[in-house]
Each structure stands twice: as structure tokens, then as C-alpha cells.
Structure 1
Amino acid sequence: MRAVQVTGYHQPLALVDVPVPEVTGPWDVIVKIGGAGVCRTDLHILEGQWAEKSQVSLPYTIGHENAGWVSAVGSAVTGVSEGDAVIVHPLITCGLCRACRFGDDVHCENNRFPGIDTAGGYAEYLKTSARSVVRIGDLQPSDVAALADAGLTAYHAAAKAARRLRAGDRCVVIGAGGLGHIGIQVLKAISPAELIVVDRNADATGLALSIGADHGVVADGGQVEEVLGLTGGKGAEVVVDFVGEGGATGEGIRMLRQAGDYHVVGYGENINVPTIDIISSEISIIGNLVGSYNDLVELMALAAQGRVTLHTAKYPLDEFQRAVDDLDAGRLRGRAILVP
């Protein structure tokens, strides 16, 4: 089968022929890929940012946002059958460790992460497990593939933020791109807060307004002051930062009110805050990884209801480089999806 692989850091990806994965264990599920999302994390992988953390051996197949159709299952699999349309949770988890038994499978002590530390879905087929697949009914895999990570991460952060937010509160969303435009829809669906979206691109803030944001602020240098003006000079109860670089972290914390929560989702720079400022304002800085299997089930329920729609640009698998380049250059609105 065709697969797009990392052959070396700071080098271009390569399209190669590799064997089709096979069922070798009772809980294995082989998915025929119908869509694979192109994520900014993939750019960070190519830059070598994940090399030490993942310890993956090169070459390997990239791609951690996957959906498709079940093509083969192990002998113990009962939840899905051949032909079922599914979205794939990004982690393969054990189900037996302490975290899994608490339902916190995103922190599974024995997890594998296709596309990060084992073969991913920039390919025609992907091997995963019965614990990782969610049936999607009539939804098309290429329409929802990026919800497997970008959507799941956005949902996880938005759901955590929504537990804090009450009617009359304000929530600032920094970044209305691939993750941000999903987070905006989730927050609108499950939270009563007034949404203020900040993005450097006016088209992105326009998209944000069209999908539920109450205010769009273009990041042209005066964004902190504009947000403070929209919040009566006090700042927002919650800031959800889907950018995490280029100065966004410092600006995001300045947009917080006393005792506010700053959710870090995007990454790329360090957070530099004097401890006295954290203590005196009693703010909380909260990290967000991906989400649990149950988070993905809930997100797909919102997608099936039409309350979360993924804006996509689709590319044939052999045009992977164009998709990566478009993402890197900021030419995308929404998510790039590779379709084998």
C-alpha cells in the first residue's frame, strides 16, 4: 500500500510502498483510511520537536487524525464489524492500567500513538484496536477525520472550560484555525458564555462570527486592549489559547480577569509569568492534551446533530506535500484532509 513517511528530521516526507497491516491479536482492528487530517503537530514532528519524546524509529508513517471503514477485525472484537464507518481515537490504550480504569485513557500508562510513535494514517490502511474506534453512522470519514485529534483536543479543552463558565461570563478564544473553529462551535453548543475570538486574520474572525462567536477581534497589535474593553476592563473568566506561540501566551494571560483560567492548547513557546502575578491574581494555567474515548463519543454526537461542522480542504494522498505546504504557509481555513 502507499504510505507517507518521515525518513529524516528537517527533510521532506516521502511517499513509499509498505505492506498492508494485518490482524495479529484478538483486539486488532484494521481500518481502510477514508481521510487523514494534516495537523500542525506533523510539522513539529518534521522539525524534530517530538524526536526525544516519542523515541520513534525512522522511517515511519505519519498521521494521527484518521477515519475510514473497518476492513478486518480480531477474533475478540464485537463492537464493530467489517464495513462499519469509524473514526479512530488517536491512542491505542491497554484498558488495564490505573488511568484506563478511571476512564482517563488519554493518560494510559501503556499507550501507543499512531502517527507519533508507531505507524499512522497517512496511508491506505491503519492498524488500531477495538478500544480506539467509534462508529460514525452516516457521517463521511473524510468529513470528520480531523475531529479525531484537532476536534477531540478542542472538545476536551472546551468541555473543561465550560465546567467553569456561567451565564454572563466571557470566554476568549485565541485562534480560529483548525482547532479553534471547532472549539468555538463546541463552546457555543455546551456553554452559556459570551465568546470573544481573537485571530490575526480577518477572514478567520469572520468565520468565527459565522459559526457562533459573539465578537471577532483582529490581532493587529491592540487586541489585548480591545478584549479588555469588551469585558469592562476586567478581562475574561476563561481564555482558551489554540495558538500558544508568537506572543499569544503573554497576551492571553493579560486578557484574564482575577481568578481566571488560562487553558493552553496550542504550543511552541514558553510561558513566562512572575509567580507573584499568578498568586496575586490567583489565576490558573491549565494544560490540555487530547481527549478521552468518551470525549470523542460526545463530540461525534454533536457532529451527528450538526452542531459541530469541520471546515476542510481535501487533497489526494499523493499531493501530501501541497497540503503540508498550505498548512505551513497559513493558506488553510479549517483542516487539510488527505484522501487515499
Structure 2
Amino acid sequence: MKAARIHGYNEPIMIDDVADPQITDPTDVIIKVGGAGVCRTDLHILEGVWKDALADPVLPYTIGHENAGWVEQVGSGVKHLKPGDPVILHPLMSCGLCPACRAGQDMHCIAGRFPGLDGTDGGYAEYMKTSVRAVVPLSPDIDPVALAPFADAGITAYHAVKKLVPLLYPGSFVVVIGIGGLGHFAIQILRALTPATIIAVDTHKARLAFAERLGAHYGVLAGSDGGLKDVVGIAPRGADVVFDFVGEHCTPAVAPSMLAKGGTYSVIGYGGQVSTPTLDFVNREINIVGNLVGTYNELVELMELHRQGRVSISAQQYPLADAPDVLKMLDRGEIIGRAVLVP
């Protein structure tokens, strides 16, 4: 089969011919990939950002951690899935036995594998192998191809928003920095779950117009001050919550200054450094919250919001063979919403 694989850091991915995955465990599931979302994390993988955090994965391997498609084959222990079933995959193959798994916190599994990230082959391919614990069945009439970005961008945004819903009451203000793959989900999820006034911040006017179409109440162009002046002009006492889907360049420096007293800075994007003075935490009693990908159950909940028509995906589809070029487009900021590779 064809697969897009990383062979070296700071090198383009390559389209290789590799063997089809095989069932080796009773709980294995092989998926015919319908769509694989293209994520900024894929760029960071190629840049070696995750190399040390993941104990130097053995190269080459197939990247791609936002995956949806159809069941191709199941292990002997899988009874509720059959070939042809449309599915979306939680990105983590969790063990089900550790304290985190038993608490439903799949993303904190101490023995989990993360296909497409940690050296385990992911979904930039015609087929991929996963665990039954990662498989979320979809309605039989759903085409899973365009839904792949829900598997990471979607549930990461949902996870970040859901845990701060109690802080967002009528009359509160929330800032969403970065209206890309995750940010465009966040706008819709905030509209679905909260009554807050939403301020979108981005460096591109087209993305701000996109955010307003999705339900943002205001759009702020991030100029030399990162949009701080305009945000404070809309919310004079500051924002109750700032969701930072960029997490690098100037955003970690500017975002805390956008907060009201008692406000919360929610970090989802990464790559930069937070260096807020400790006096700010005391004097303004502000908080910083980190976010990983969401849980299996949160992916199920998000797909229900999608079924209800309350959260949709804006995805541009490209052939798998174009993966190297699509990653370059993402790096240049040319993707609105999300890109999906179709084998």
C-alpha cells in the first residue's frame, strides 16, 4: 500500500510502498482509511519538536493521527464491528487497565500508543491498524472521509472548552486566538455550550471573516500588539477565558494581558514559552490551564453535536500523494479550516 512516512527530521515526508498492516492481537482493528487530517503537530513532528518528548521514535514511520474510514478487518475478540462499518478513531490506543483509563482519561494512559506520533504507524496511508478501544462507530449513512479532523482538532478543542464551561456565564467574554483547524471548532463549540461573547483573534482577515460566519461575535486582527488593544476595547475589564490555539510567536506573551482578574489562560497550541511574572498570578489571581487531546467519550459527545448540526467541519480534500505539498501549504498558512488527505 501507499503511505506517507517520515524518514528524517527537517526533511520532506516521502510516499513509500509498504506492506499492509496485519492482525496480530484479538483486539486489533484494521481500517481502510477514508480521510486523514493534516495537523500542525505533523509539521512539529517533521521539525523534531516531539523527538525527545517521545524517546526518539524509530524512523521511518507513517504519520497522521486524525483518522476516519471503514472497518476492513477485525481481531477475534472484536464482536461489535464488521467490515464496511464507518468509524472515526480516537488518536490514542489506550490499555484500558491503568488508573487513567479506568477513570476514563484515555489521553493520560501510561501504556498507550499514539499512531502517527510516537513511531507507531498512523493514517497517512491506505490502511492502518488500531485498537478496538480507539474505534468510535458512526451512523451507517455517514461518509467518514471529511470527518477525520474531529478525531484530534475537534476533540482537543472540545476538551479545552468543556472543562471551562462553568467559567463562561451570560455576560462573560471569551477570546479564541488562532482560527485554524482547532480554532474553527472552538468557535462552534463555544456557541453550542456557552452563552459567552466570543472574540476571535487572528493575523488573517479571511480567517476572521470565517470565524464570524461560524458564530464569533467579534473579529480582531492581531497587529503588532497581538490584538490586545482591540480585545480590551471590546471587553474593558478583560476576558474571562482566553483559548490560545497558537501557543507560539507572541501569543503566550500577549494572552495573559487580555485576561480579567480571576481569568483563565487555556493553552492548546504550543512551541513558545510562557513567562508571566509570578506577581501577576497573585495580584490578578489568574490561572493557566494546559490541554491535551480529549477523551474517547468526548469524541462520542462531539460526534453527537455534529449529528445535531451544531458543529461542522470545514475541510479541503487532497490526494494522499500530495501530502508533502499540503504540509507546505499548512506551514504557509494557506489552509482555511482543515486539510484532509484521501488515499
User: TM class by shorter-chain length?
Assistant: over 0.9
**1:183-240 deviation per Cα after TM superposition (whole angstroms, max 9, x unaligned):** 1101110111111111111111101110111111111235111111111x21011111
Partner amino acid for 2:117? Answer: I
Give the match for residue 296 of structure 1.
299
Aligned-partner Cα distance in 1 for 2:149–2:92: 14
Counterpart contact for 1:139–1:304, Cα < 8 Å: no
- Trace 1:10-21 onto structure 2 (pairs within 5 A): 10-21=10-21
Aligned-partner Cα distance in 2 for 1:164–1:106: 23
Which 5+ residue runs of structure 1 have no aligned equivalent? none
Counterpart contact for 1:181–1:334, Cα < 8 Å: yes
Shift of 1:163: 2.7
SS of equivalent to 2:164: helix
Percent identical across equivalent pairs? 52
Which 5+ residue runs of structure 2 have no aligned equivalent? none
- 2:230 corresponds, among 221, 226, 230, to 226
Give the match for residue 337 of structure 1.
340
Shift of 1:162: 1.5
Aligned-partner Cα distance in 2 for 1:140–1:268: 34
Shift of 1:309: 1.0
**1:138-192 deviation per Cα after TM superposition (whole angstroms, max 9, x unaligned):** 3322211011011111111111121321111111111111110001101110111
Matched, 1:177 2:166: no
Aligned-partner Cα distance in 2 for 1:184–1:160: 15
- Trace 1:82-231 onto structure 2 (pairs within 5 A): 82-117=83-118, 118-137=120-139, 138-222=141-225, 223-231=227-235
Partner amino acid for 1:29? Answer: V
- 2:317 corresponds, among 301, 310, 314, to 314
Counterpart contact for 2:69–2:144, Cα < 8 Å: yes
Structure 1 vs Structure 2 CA RMSD: 0.9
Counterpart contact for 2:146–2:317, Cα < 8 Å: no
Shift of 1:315: 0.6
SS of equivalent to 2:25: coil
Shift of 1:26: 1.0
SS of equivalent to 2:265: strand
Spell out structure 1 runs of 4+ moving beyond 6 A.
Answer: none
Number of matched residues? Answer: 339
Aligned-partner Cα distance in 2 for 1:160–1:261: 11
Counterpart contact for 2:10–2:48, Cα < 8 Å: yes
Give the match for residue 59 of structure 2.
58
SS of equivalent to 1:119: coil
Give the match for residue 29 of structure 1.
29
Partner amino acid for 2:315? Answer: T
Give the match for residue 258 of structure 1.
261
SS of equivalent to 1:51: coil
Matched, 1:269 2:278: no
Give the match for residue 76 of structure 2.
75
Partner amino acid for 2:115? Answer: P
TM-score scaled by structure 2? 0.97
Matched, 1:238 2:241: yes
Partner amino acid for 2:137? Answer: R
Shift of 1:316: 0.4
SS of equivalent to 2:163: helix
- 2:286 corresponds, among 280, 283, 286, to 283
**1:35-79 deviation per Cα after TM superposition (whole angstroms, max 9, x unaligned):** 001110011111111111222100100110000000011111123
Counterpart contact for 1:205–1:217, Cα < 8 Å: yes
Aligned-partner Cα distance in 2 for 1:309–1:65: 16
Give the match for residue 305 of structure 1.
308
Matched, 1:328 2:331: yes
SS of equivalent to 2:20: coil
Partner amino acid for 2:283? Answer: S
Counterpart contact for 1:97–1:108, Cα < 8 Å: yes
Counterpart contact for 1:79–1:130, Cα < 8 Å: no
Aligned-partner Cα distance in 2 for 1:155–1:274: 29
Aligned-partner Cα distance in 1 for 2:131–2:272: 34
Q: Which has the larger displacement, 66-75 or 77-86?
A: 77-86
Aligned-partner Cα distance in 2 for 1:245–1:278: 20
